[in-house]
Amino acid sequence: MRNMKNTIRNKTKKNFEISLIDNMQMYYYYLDRITSLAMSCFEWENMPDGINTWYLEKTLFFNPQAIFFREEVMDKFYVLKGAMNGQLDVYGEPTGWTAIGENGYNKQLSADDCVAIYNNMLKDNCYVACDIYARRLADIDRTISVNLRAQRTPLLITCSEEDKLSMTNLYKQYVGGEPVIMGYSSLRPDTIKVMKTDAPYNCDKLNTLKSEIWNECLTYLGINNVNTVKKERMISDEVLRNQGGTVFSRYSRLLMREKACDEINKKFGLNISVKFRENLDLKTEEISQEAGSPFNVVKGGSEDE
């Protein structure tokens, strides 16, 4: 009996570990997708040699700011992680920074020697919000998996330990679609109970919820999406109105980068610029939206046209 309990405990532990791995893999899947989108939103132009824009966006995703400065010894520009150093001025801005490299390099800088590039108007990172969205999406996806699996095992059979092997063999006949299920005279029907789990199918509702949260995440990042469900066609002006929140979410990050470009150009005599990557032209694209299919935007005019 003790060995049987240990076997059940080990099997339960194994199932828990598998479930935990699946949960973490799904979470990292969504976090990686969202991180990749967040880091690829902006395009930097006319950056001097030595500046790694991939590293810049990665730094701004995980940290509130990056520090742009000239390394006088090597006569090169760098953009690295930055930690506040020294006193704050009357506006709460640091009067000094410590630039930190991945290889242990660090350099003390005054505010006059560098420019802080902030991620957004609140001067915080995107990672915290994206982590929340990744967890919510992963939870829904795992719930869909559980709900879908419940459709495959609609029966719960209870029996005595002595009848377990016999019921396992009978269940195999049931799953295999045997026209006649043969039992044993030794079976005790009074000790056997069969219950239907009758798990409701909610995958469609969960998928709709997942799409809503995904679109909410895209809106947070300033990426175009249509976050309304509408069977009839949508005109481009209507879609553009729906994009108001998306555009202003985009401005929070874009304006701080543009501000940094202006300060860098003025301080170091450069011509750096930044823009938000935009590939969807709602005024010329035609897209059709029906229940369960990609949305379609109609050029201008009214819905009756």
Q: What is the mean pLDDT of residues 32-38?
A: 97
Residue 71, SS3 per DSSP: strand
Structure tokens that stand for 136 in this block: 């919510």
Q: Is the pLDDT of residue 266 over 80?
A: yes
Could you give the CA distance from residue 110 to residue 105 in angstroms, rounded to a whole number? 17
Could you tell me the fold of the domain covering 155-196? Crambin (3.30.1350)
Q: Could you read off the pLDDT of 234-260 as tens digits, one per residue?
A: 555 555 556 677 888 899 999 999 999
Structure tokens that stand for 25 in this block: 């893999």
Q: Give the count of beta carbons closer than 10 Å to the beta carbon of residue 67.
A: 22
Q: Which residues contact 158 (CB under 8 A, 6 or more apart)?
A: 192, 193, 195
Q: What is the mean pLDDT of residues 123-148?
A: 94
Q: How many helices (H) and strands (E) does the chain have?
A: 7, 11
Listed by start position, the domains of the chain span 155-196, 222-298
Quote the pLDDT of residue 240. Answer: 56
Mean pLDDT score of the chain, rounded to an integer? Answer: 80
Could you give the CA distance from residue 150 to residue 212 in angstroms, rounded to a whole number? 24
Q: Could you read off the pLDDT of 267-285 as tens digits, one per residue?
A: 999 999 999 987 544 443 4
Could you give the CA distance from residue 81 to residue 104 in angstroms, rounded to a whole number? 11
Q: Could you read off the pLDDT of 82-101 as tens digits, one per residue?
A: 999 989 999 999 999 999 99
For residue 172, what pLDDT band results from cuts at 50, 70 and 90? confident
Q: Is the pLDDT of residue 4 over 50?
A: no
Residue where the block lists tokens 């001067």: 123
